[in-house]
Amino acid sequence: MTIAVQPLGRVDYLPTYAAMRAYTAERTAATPDVLWICEHPATYTQGLAGKSEHILAPGAIPVVATDRGGQVTFHGPGQVVAYPLIDLRRAGYFVKEYVYRIEQAVLGTLAHFGVTGHRVAGAPGIYVRLDDPRAHDLLPQRPRRLASGERAADAAPDFRGLGKIAALGIKVSRNCSYHGVALNVAMDLEPFTRINACGYPGLQTVDLAAVGVSASWQEAADQLARRLQSQLAARVAAAGT
């Protein structure tokens, strides 16, 4: 079954947040999966684990406490926000794979624009090399499969030479997802300097415009929506059974 895309346009954050919670709370086994694509006015959102010290100088920008995972991030014009409202049990995959699939959709969207996105071990979201956003070299700090008996290093993620271009924060309730992913296209990045984005002091945030890509919001939204539709398809549908 294809996930229906519902373009919302530019909408305030709080009523959108309330609507996705209500949609999830009222779901039944027959409720269709949907993908909301939108843009928000300037808003800081704080995750469940959020610490106030990561909000440095919000000024007049409102700060909204939410029930998603993660720390603080910024939403604003020029950013594509995608909210997949998915029944994960019906789709046939667990949360870890769900996150992987969302990130794959972002990677595919960036590749469409000639940009190479990367994952960083221990830090959900997608990053680009600041010195060469089109380089395909693998990151030394990428997630990797551990050898038998090897343990992951208990260290903070390594963001050297990287900028974050897409942030991910989700919530799963009764096996159904809400919240989602935000891809920076062409926005005012200054508000990111007033927070420790995603809880990491010094983490630089970039958008497609900053790495030399001239793309409209709509073009980026269409590309991301199409890839999310494909990546988040149910396992049985994807397998053709």
Catalytic site includes residue 38? no
Q: How many Cβ atoms from other residues are within 10 Å of residue 193's Cβ?
A: 13
Quote the tokens at residue 201. 């002091």
**Under a CB-based contact definition with an 8 Å cutoff, are residues 42 and 81 in contact?**
no
Query: Which position among 198, 206, 210, 220 bears the catalytic label?
Result: 198
Kindly give, in sequence order, each residue whose CB lies less than 8 Å from that of residue 46, ignoring residues fewer than 6 positions away: 55, 63, 64, 65, 66, 71, 72
Quote the tokens at residue 153. 């290093």
Point out the residues that are catalytic. Answer: 198
